[in-house]
Amino acid sequence: MRALVLIEPNSAYTKRAIQFFVQNYEDFKGIKDISTGMLALIEYDFHKYSDIIKKLGNNLRKRISEKEYTKSVLTHPWTFTFLSLQALTYVFGNNDKSVRKHVKWLKENQDPDGSWKNHAYLTANAILGLIVIGEGPKISREICEQKESLFLQEIEMKKSTIVSTIPFSGKIEIKEKIKEMISDTTNRIWICSRFITEFWTDIINLKRDNARIDIRVITIPKKEANKNYRGDGKKFIEPAFDSLQKTLKGNFKEAPVLHARCIITDDAVLISSADLTVEQLEKEFNLGIYTRDPEIVRKSVMLFEELW
């Protein structure tokens, strides 16, 4: 199961293996099986299965009684030197009592020549176990903190945010997010919107102030927009359409079958139910998702280019 998680995390076989283990984990009694199952769940989706992982970890702690520990180590030393050490360290940290017991036993049973039982396989696994809990070459705390900072930045970057328009509470998050995206863009802003009566002057000014920005707009034909628009913003359809078409030239396109609403900038995408109109951005309930996840942005760009 762990091999599947590492090699094919998204395959149907992996999902079935994970599902089977999650449904039957209480039937697994061996320390090797518990450790392997914990590691597989940690590597597959720690947050989703954290309760089961911690339950297995506590079970593993209890099973490492002095008698069982000594007996099992003599029979299957690699189980303790790597798998269980790794599993317990990942969940409870390297100062956990059970982890320290592992480490103490390993150090006490190391032979004078540095090996364990003069056996390459056992020695290799013992070393791997010690490396997991930090018994080996070190790097500075500053470097660790810097790596952690970069990792947290990446997590933050990939977070998706729900934005909404809720008229009765005055919430206009979609409009505010669009304004932010337009003002922050430096290289690209691509827009899909059936109707455009808001932000059209901002788009025109952005193009005039910085001609190198790649601005593209896809919308429905003007005649269709005039026919189907409902609301006071209808008076802006023609001036917005004509001005954008004149400014963007070949980068302004009509698509009669357009129904999608999205805005793609340098490293972000907003996908929502709202067109760029005062009605949908201020007076109607609408919902959207904003994300900077590189993979979602990449796929959104591909879909936009396909439509383009």
Element (H, E) at 195: none
2-14: average pLDDT: 90
Residue 266 forms part of a structural domain? yes
Residue 15 forms part of a structural domain? yes
pLDDT at position 69: 52
More confident residue, 139 or 259: 259
Which of 66-75, 104-113, 221-230 is the most confident on average?
A: 221-230
Residue numbers of the domain that contains 123: 2-138
pLDDT higher than threshold 90 for residue 195: yes
Contact 84, 102 (CB under 8 A): yes
Nearest Cα to Cα of residue 22 among 9, 3, 8, 38: 38
Give yes or no: residues 127 and 183 share one domain: no
Instruction: For residue 264, list its beta bridge partners.
Output: 190, 269
Give yes or no: residues 71 and 121 share one domain: yes
pLDDT higher than threshold 90 for residue 255: yes
Give yes or no: residues 77 and 172 share one domain: no
pLDDT tens by residue, 182-191: 988 889 999 9
pLDDT at position 214: 96
pLDDT averaged over every residue in the chain? 88
Structure tokens at 70: 């000594």
239-260: average pLDDT: 95
E strand map for the chain = 160-166, 171-172, 188-192, 214-219, 252-254, 262-265, 269-272, 286-291
More confident residue, 45 or 76: 45
Band the pLDDT of 286: cuts 50, 70, 90. Answer: very high
Q: Alpha-carbon distance 186 to 62, whole Å?
A: 57
pLDDT higher than threshold 70 for residue 206: yes
Nearest Cα to Cα of residue 280 among 196, 220, 200, 224: 196
Work out the angle at residue 250's Cα, subtended by the Cα atoms of residues 247 and 256, and round it to the nearest 5 degrees.
105
Calculate the alpha carbon distances from 193 to 5, 18, 189, 222, 265 in Å: 40, 42, 13, 12, 15
Band the pLDDT of 68: cuts 50, 70, 90. Answer: low
> What's phi and psi for 172, nearest 5 deg?
-130, 50
Contact 164, 184 (CB under 8 A): no
237-253: average pLDDT: 95
Give yes or no: residues 118 and 65 share one domain: yes
Band the pLDDT of 97: cuts 50, 70, 90. Answer: confident
Residue 122 forms part of a structural domain? yes
Residue 175 forms part of a structural domain? yes
Residue 151 forms part of a structural domain? no
Structure tokens at 234: 């209808």
Residue 93 forms part of a structural domain? yes
Q: Which of 158-162, 216-220, 221-225, 259-263 has the lowest mean pLDDT?
A: 158-162
Residue 152 forms part of a structural domain? no
Structure tokens at 64: 């490492």
Structure tokens at 38: 């914990």
Paired sense of beta strands 252-254 and 188-192, if any? unpaired
**Percentage of residues in the chain having pLDDT higher than 70:** 92
Nearest Cα to Cα of residue 246 among 278, 274, 222: 222
pLDDT higher than threshold 70 for residue 72: no
Give yes or no: residues 106 and 12 share one domain: yes
Q: C-alpha 22: how far from its chain's center?
A: 23
CB atoms within 10 A of CB 239: 12
Q: Which of 78-92, 240-254, 264-278 has the lowest mean pLDDT?
A: 78-92
pLDDT higher than threshold 70 for residue 137: no
Give yes or no: residues 165 and 294 share one domain: yes
